[in-house]
Chains A and B, each alone.
Chain A
Amino acid sequence: MTAVANGRQSSARGVGFGADTILGILLVSPILLTMTALVFYPMGRTIWDSLHRVNPMQAGTPFVGLDNYVRMFSDGQLGATWTNTLIYVVLAVAAETIFGVLAAALINQVKIGRRWILAAVILPWALPGVVNSVIWLWIYQPGAGLLNGILSAIGLPFENHVWFNDRASAIVAVTVVHVWRMMPLTIVIVLAAMQSIPSHLYEAARIDGATRGQMFGLITLPLVRSAIAVSMTNATVNAFNLFDEAWVLAGSSLETRPILVQIYLETFQNLRFSYGMALSVSITFVSLLVSLVYVLRVYRNTRFD
């Protein structure tokens, strides 16, 4: 201890070892306090309470073991919402990745005004999710909505089509809003990776007579693969967290209800607190697991190349 203290420069002005330690603890104490009270403790509480029966309408909180988890398997509504969430995840991640990478490649080609194009593209992400959702609610509106307006303007019989009448189109409609909001993240991440590719690689390829398509497939894509994996992880977590779009566009409709809306309904309408917590624990687990799969796959792929 003293050796360390002597080794460092200590002075009377409070720069020494002891002073640094005290100051350090002082400076991080707000973080420690906030995170303990509002994140760490509630997190432990979620796991602990998910093993009990917690319901404000019933007295006592008896220990029920894994009952809350076992109940999930016989919960028909839950099965439907899990299916919906998985469909959202697959559709959203695929659309955001494919169109996001294409969009990033397009923006990467632009030399002038790229800053402004990027600002325009990021804008949907920065807006409140519910406001995006009411905007699209208006676009999807059967009578005077923009979507049906465009479709009938080009001669298709969609004037009074109701997009939320059947499950498939309702789910796609919710996904489109989510993709509109989240794709900018993919574009920003992938574009940054594309801009860090040294230009001499492209020059060498051009001298060898490669076409644009070949350059994209053989230079750009392999070099932005880890950025794509990062953006896919983000996209997955965000799609698992889908709430605002489904809630505003279709309310509690079971056909489009994602798992998060189910948690909200079970907890704050049916007041089954501990069941809601068990659901939260399991979806956290699944979303972490899926993200982990991407990360591992990318690492293995890059190693074997």
Chain B
Amino acid sequence: MKTNFFTRLLLWTGLGLLLVWSLGPIYWTLASSVTPTEDFSTRPIHFYPQHFTFDHYARVLGISISRIGGVEVWKQFRAALFNSVVTSVAATVLCVAISALGAYAFTRLRFPGRQMLFGLVVATLAIPAYAVLIPLYQIMIKMHLVDTYVGVALIYVSAYLPLSLWLLRSVFEALPVSLEEAAQLDGAGRLFIFFNIVLPLAGPGLAAAGILTFLGAWGQYLVPLIFSPQVTKPLTVLIPEFVTKNFIDYGLITASGSIAIIIPALVVIFLNRYLVSGLLAGSVK
């Protein structure tokens, strides 16, 4: 298409604005996280760090703490980072495993109540989490699962299972059935076929389901605020606690925020293709 100079200028200006809007706040977080606390009070503000320091990271991670002193947050922070990783990974693995097995049954096997169960599970996509939150809290208290990894991970699984199931069923449906039939003729059992033929072919679909579950679990706030108040507190609950009424330690917040966004950022950069396909499959529900 013939493009004149003016259209091209408009296009690149628009793209520039879009990138600044999307990445600007992230840049500002990273820049602030390496700025010494004294520099936060200079006016007018500088748009890039004048001095460079890793002190804020040292404070949240507990590296050479004797040199810095001040508020001791690193123990809490390390625990929260660990908790975030454990609950998100556990929820992702469990959710993808359960939904892969189920999705295969829903596509290839016939059993009573098949359509109804699938419909019911997928229909819960339209139900917001808070519609079940309060009874869930009562159940978890009764079963002594509040503030445990098992309790939180199970809630994440139940929250992301419908999407993952929906996604994986459409992936399995798109696989050619002839391959499986050939294997059946050779005498292979259902489970053998599932693990050795279907799963390897469904790799991208499994990746998409896993990414969506992981990002969702990693970013959860309301659920852990209620269900992991102390011992299993994740990063998302800890970081806002650094914001207190009287004093906000922006170095601490931006450094801990930067650490919390590293993993999702890596996922988006390297697994973008799977993420987009998952988002599209999930949105057309």
Contact = CB atoms under 8 A, between A and B. Distances in A.
B15 to A, nearest CB: 6
B269 A119 contact: yes
A136 B139 CA distance: 36
A170 interface: no
A281 interface: yes
Interface in B190-239: 190-191, 215, 218-222, 226, 235-237, 239
A37 B154 CA distance: 10
A229 to B, nearest CB: 11
Given A27-B105, A118-B276, A106 B128 contact: no
Contacts of A231: 283
Which residue of A14, A32, A144 has the most chain B CB atoms within 10 A of its CB atom? Answer: A144
Interface stretch (B61-69, B71-79, B112-120): B112-120
A288 to B, nearest CB: 6
Contacts of B42: 144
A135 B29 CA distance: 6
Given A31-B121, A134-B243, A212 B184 contact: no
Contacts of B237: 130
B283 A146 contact: no
B221 A43 contact: no
Nearest to A124: B22
Contact of B134 (A14, A28, A37, A46): A46
B98 A284 contact: no
A268 B276 contact: no
B182 interface: no
Contacts of B47: 146, 149
Given A23-B109, A42-B136, A120-B19, A131 B236 contact: yes
Interface of B is mostly: helix
Contacts of B161: 31, 34-35
Interface string A101-128: 0110011011000010111111110111
Contacts of A37: 139, 158
Given A126-B268, A152-B44, A244 B14 contact: no
Nearest to A268: B226
B5 interface: no
Contacts of A209: none
B109 A24 contact: yes
A240 to B, nearest CB: 7
A197 interface: no
B225 to A, nearest CB: 8
B29 A284 contact: no
A188 B279 contact: yes
Contacts of A281: 131
B19 A117 contact: yes
A2 interface: no
B199 to A, nearest CB: 13
Interface of A is mostly: helix
Contacts of B188: 13
Nearest to A181: B219
A35 B221 contact: no
B272 A118 contact: yes
A150 to B, nearest CB: 8
Interface stretch (A82-90, A259-267, A297-305): A259-267
A106 B124 contact: no
A261 to B, nearest CB: 10
B264 A135 contact: no
B14 A106 contact: yes
A119 B111 CA distance: 42
Nearest to A23: B190
B240 A106 contact: no
A139 interface: yes
B97 to A, nearest CB: 8
Nearest to B31: A146
Which residue of B15, B22, B44, B105 has the most chain A CB atoms within 10 A of its CB atom? Answer: B22
Contacts of B28: 135, 138-139, 146
Interface in A17-44: 17, 19-25, 27-28, 30-32, 34-35, 37-43
B179 to A, nearest CB: 14
A32 B15 CA distance: 47
Interface in A260-305: 260, 263-264, 267-268, 273, 276-277, 280-281, 283-284, 287-288, 291
A141 to B, nearest CB: 7
A248 B225 CA distance: 12
Q: 8 closest Cβ contacts across the A-B interface?
A: A24-B109, A24-B111, A128-B219, A38-B158, A45-B135, A42-B135, A27-B105, A149-B45
27 contacts: A11-B184, A11-B187, A20-B109, A20-B110, A35-B158, A38-B157, A39-B132, A40-B120, A120-B23, A123-B23, A124-B25, A126-B215, A126-B267, A129-B236, A130-B219, A130-B239, A141-B250, A144-B40, A144-B250, A146-B28, A149-B44, A149-B47, A185-B279, A230-B283, A241-B128, A281-B131, A284-B131
